[in-house]
Amino acid sequence: MKKSDDKECKLQIGDVCISLRFKDTAFSSYLREYFKGYTCKEPELIVNMNIEKVSDNEFGGFEFDLLSLHPKTVKGNSFNLLSGEVTGTLNLKEKRCTVYFSRKGIRIFKQFMFMIYYTLMKHNHPAESKNSFLVHACGVSKDGYGYAFVGPSESGKSTIAKLSSDYTVLNDEIIIIKKEREGYIVRSTPFRGDFLENRNGSAPLKAIFIINHGKKNIIRGINKGEFISQFLKEVVCPDSLLP
């Protein structure tokens, strides 16, 4: 690895590739290990990450969804998230983004990455962007087909991943569901939960299950309205950094 690469983490999220660059190599080393298996070669965007010194606990705390409480503000190429805890600029023509995270702002690192994904899909892959969504779900591939187990935090996604370890677990926290000509596919993302053995891959989607805790295992069919209502709650809002 070149010395300049020590400060970089190239990351694949579905159809997009980004380069995360840090002044402190500890961050890049941490993320290269955390996101191993999801590297890419040709980044569509270089993101210069500036982060106040935080503990491993704070940096690993990716489960806080605070953006709904503090809407973003945008002025030109500048964005402001979490009431100033995350600020930066984005220039898509030059393929450059600079972002500043405060100690509190690092809690929405994962949500920031979701916004980067949707931004690049919208601007670089417009045809696919309307039919590609991040979903809170466990994805499993069995016999060449994909199954999505959709549910919020603590609903049992990681448990299902562990029970499915004899098959290919695509992810136990966030997956991509994408519509293609032949139908839908389910695809892994680097944003895992507690299950560590997920694999970077995809499979034709065969079934979607809305999961809930219960005293025993039951599978029942639900009507279209009930499915849409519950499924949409777990779709990550397709919000981009800039209009």
What is the CATH classification number for the domain harbouring 212?
A: 3.40.50.300
pLDDT at 54: 56
| Residue 241 located in a structural domain | no
Per DSSP, the residues of 60-74 read T-TT---TTTS--EE
Q: What range does the domain containing 200 cover?
A: 132-233
How do residues 187-210 score in pLDDT, each as one tens digit?
A: 999 999 999 999 999 999 999 999
- Domain boundary among the residues 91, 126, 161 is at 126
pLDDT at 55: 54
| pTM score of the predicted model | 0.89
How do residues 72-101 score in pLDDT, each as one tens digit?
A: 899 999 999 888 889 999 999 999 999 999
Among 214, 207, 158, which Cα is nearest to 186's? 207
201 and 105 together in one domain: no
Contacts of 26 (CB under 8 A, 6+ apart): none
| Residue 16 located in a structural domain | yes
81 and 183 together in one domain: no
pLDDT at 64: 42
122 and 16 together in one domain: yes
173 and 122 together in one domain: no
| Residue 239 located in a structural domain | no
101 and 86 together in one domain: yes
Evaluate whether 119 touches 242 at the Cβ level (below 8 Å).
yes
pLDDT at 3: 52
Per-residue confidence at 163, pLDDT binned at 50, 70, 90?
Answer: very high
Residue 56, pLDDT above cutoff 60: no
pLDDT at 68: 52
111 and 152 together in one domain: no
| Residue 23 located in a structural domain | yes
Evaluate whether 237 touches 136 at the Cβ level (below 8 Å).
no
- Which residue would you say has higher pLDDT here, 176 or 54? 176
| Residue 151 located in a structural domain | yes
pLDDT at 182: 87
7 and 120 together in one domain: yes
With a pLDDT cut of 90, the percent of the chain lying above it is 73
Q: Tell me the chain's radius of gyration from C-alpha atoms.
A: 18
pLDDT at 243: 84
109 and 159 together in one domain: no
| Residue 138 located in a structural domain | yes
pLDDT at 122: 96
10 and 113 together in one domain: yes
| Residue 19 located in a structural domain | yes
Q: What integer is the mean pLDDT of 46-52?
A: 92
- Domain boundary among the residues 99, 126, 153 is at 126
Per-residue confidence at 105, pLDDT binned at 50, 70, 90?
Answer: low
Residue 123, pLDDT above cutoff 90: yes
- Domain boundary among the residues 126, 152, 175 is at 126
Q: How far is CA 153 from the centre of its chain?
A: 14
156 and 98 together in one domain: no
15 and 122 together in one domain: yes
| Residue 243 located in a structural domain | no
Residue 172, pLDDT above cutoff 70: yes
Two tokens, residue 225: 């309205």
Evaluate whether 153 touches 142 at the Cβ level (below 8 Å).
no
166 and 203 together in one domain: yes
pLDDT at 60: 47
Q: How many domains does the chain have?
A: 2
